[in-house]
Amino acid sequence: MKNPFNEKLSIQERLQEQYMTCRKKGYKYVGIYIITSPQLVIIDPELIKSVLSKDFSHFMDRGMYHNENDPLSMHLFSLDASKWKKLRPKLTPTFTSGKMKMMFNMVVTCGRQLGTSMEEICVKGPVDIKHTLECYTMDVIGSCAFGIDCNSFTDPFSDFCKYSKKIFQLSRIKRLRALIINIFPYLGKTLRVKLMPRDVTEFFLNIVTHSVKHRRENGIVRNDFLQVLMERVDNNKDTDSISFSEMVAQVYVFFIAGFETSSATMSFCLMELCLNPEVQEKLREEVNLILNKHNGTITYESLKEMTYMNAVINETLRKYPPVPVLNRRCIQDYHLHNSDIIIRKGIKITIPLIALHNDPEYFPNPEKFDPNRFSVENKHLITPFTYMPFGDGPRACIGIRFGIMQTKIGLVTLLSDYKFSLSENMKIPIKFNLHSVTAAVEGGVWLNATKI
């Protein structure tokens, strides 16, 4: 890898560059070093399948730094195999379709707030749509994960807004620290290095402690993530139980995973709908037709009927997967099929998701935003393990249903009432932000919104 201390490329560009180098030479995998840390980049779909799914037992770790002294870091995304294996089945029931239906109305309520706020925002001029949608997803996840009204639209300086920005805004120092401890995790653990600033940890710890106490004292029961997790904590004799600090870490990861990924998906989607007005019109027609069938209200069933909406969201996630790379770490020596390569225990694996999604062999004319790739007639043509916006195998995203639900509710709310076009402030072609952990546009996504 080029000098990571002086990176000129975004992670998306770097992954595409590595991928193209592999592709041009006909390689199925290539070894790279990140300073002293060897990693294997795998680009062949069959080998990817082996790592993510077929031989998952060799690749259960994600290889992310975490540390018991940094309680928020002990969440599902970062945990290593032994702890992850025990925790994942305890959390899976949190995301069943039954639980999604229970949370549905809370999300619709936040959608209504988005619609109302948009009326005021759009008359003031071009809309920073990513920021607007972050307010919506922050309200949603605040309500569903913490049982708290974040009021992100009316109170942009709330503590929630402040601390969530702090998590995602990575200064140069923070990026360097993260890079070094990911390369030398033992050093980080020995020195008890914390990734999360103390005030962020305290904020989340306090807010969960306070909400749990308030619910217990007042006998409040809500249909949300916190409630499901509280029941796991209360159940302390059961093998399904989790500790209080485990619960806080999971609420925290639901918060960060939930608000950024879905707001990115919706803003990339609206940007493409402006670049492709015929797709915007077709989607709006579907939304209006189905809403009319359901007396003008957004219901769980109405969203399921929106098949073109599914295709548009899938195509957005193809071009702009919010998580551009999948990571695993080998936990047991592994013989790579049809090769003389042994992947040694401890080697990290990189799967350059965004590059696969934009490979012309799998997705002809990849620059074109074409939802028809995902129509009922066409979607079976997609080569397995070349399209995985939520990852794949037992360690795939646990929050898919929730992520898609809040994305659809946000888009339906906006498209039924507003027409969108690109603002002059918007630079096309876009450049990805160099310093963002997830996919983000440099300078933001600026749109004009006109009430219909």
Q: Does 181 engage in binding with ligand HEM (CB under 6 A)?
A: no
On whether the CB atoms of residues 354 and 389 are closer than 8 A, the answer is no
CB atoms within 10 A of CB 271: 24
* Binding test (CB under 6 A) with ligand HEM, winner from 399, 409, 412, 445: 399
Of 293-312, binders to ligand HEM (CB under 6 A) are none
Q: Does 163 engage in binding with ligand HEM (CB under 6 A)?
A: no
What size, in residues, is the chain?
Answer: 452
Question: What is the per-residue DSSP string for 335-398?
Answer: E-TTSS-EEPTT-EEEE-HHHHHT-TTTSSSTTS--GGGGSTTTGGGSPTTS--TT--STTS-T
Q: Does 390 engage in binding with ligand HEM (CB under 6 A)?
A: yes
* Binding test (CB under 6 A) with ligand HEM, winner from 58, 329, 348, 395: 395
Q: Does 387 engage in binding with ligand HEM (CB under 6 A)?
A: no
Q: Does 262 engage in binding with ligand HEM (CB under 6 A)?
A: yes
CB of 144 to ligand HEM, least distance (A): 8
Q: Per the structure block, which two tokens stand in for 402?
A: 């929730």
**Helix/strand/coil for 449:** strand
Which region among 5-13, 210-218, 239-247, 395-403 touches ligand HEM (by CB under 6 A)? 395-403
Helix (H) or strand (E) holding 404: helix 400-417
* Binding test (CB under 6 A) with ligand HEM, winner from 275, 396, 430, 434: 396
* Binding test (CB under 6 A) with ligand HEM, winner from 27, 56, 77, 184: 77
Residue 363 and residue 155: Cα distance in Å, rounded? 43
Query: Residue 432 CA to chain centroid, in angstroms?
Result: 16
Q: Per the structure block, which two tokens stand in for 334?
A: 């592994």
CB of 70 to ligand HEM, least distance (A): 17
Q: Omega into 360 within 30° of 0, i.e. cis?
A: no
**Which residues on neighbouring strands pair with residue 41, listed in sequence order?**
30, 350
CB of 404 to ligand HEM, least distance (A): 7
CB of 390 to ligand HEM, least distance (A): 5
Which CB, 163 or 387, lies closer to ligand HEM? Answer: 387
Binders of ligand HEM: how many residues, by CB under 6 A? 25
Q: Per the structure block, which two tokens stand in for 34?
A: 């990140």
Q: Does 168 engage in binding with ligand HEM (CB under 6 A)?
A: no
Of 124, 164, 359, nearest to 263 by C-alpha is 164
Q: Does 402 engage in binding with ligand HEM (CB under 6 A)?
A: yes
* Binding test (CB under 6 A) with ligand HEM, winner from 357, 392, 410, 437: 392
Name the amino acid, one letter, at 291: L
On whether the CB atoms of residues 409 and 115 are closer than 8 A, the answer is no
Helix (H) or strand (E) holding 418: strand 418-422
On whether the CB atoms of residues 41 and 30 are closer than 8 A, the answer is yes
Is 144 annotated as contributing to ligand binding? no
Which CB, 92 or 116, lies closer to ligand HEM? Answer: 92
On whether the CB atoms of residues 442 and 432 are closer than 8 A, the answer is yes
On whether the CB atoms of residues 226 and 145 are closer than 8 A, the answer is yes
Q: Does 56 engage in binding with ligand HEM (CB under 6 A)?
A: no
Of 85-104, binders to ligand HEM (CB under 6 A) are 88
* Binding test (CB under 6 A) with ligand HEM, winner from 391, 419, 420, 441: 391
Name the amino acid, one letter, at 127: V
CB of 89 to ligand HEM, least distance (A): 10
Which region among 36-44, 288-296, 356-364, 399-407 touches ligand HEM (by CB under 6 A)? 399-407
Q: Does 323 engage in binding with ligand HEM (CB under 6 A)?
A: yes
Which region among 294-302, 376-384, 388-396, 440-448 touches ligand HEM (by CB under 6 A)? 388-396
Going by the annotation, the residues of the binding site for heme are 397
| Site of interaction with ligand HEM (CB under 6 A) | 76-77, 88, 253-254, 257-258, 261-262, 265, 322-323, 326, 389-392, 395-399, 402-403, 407
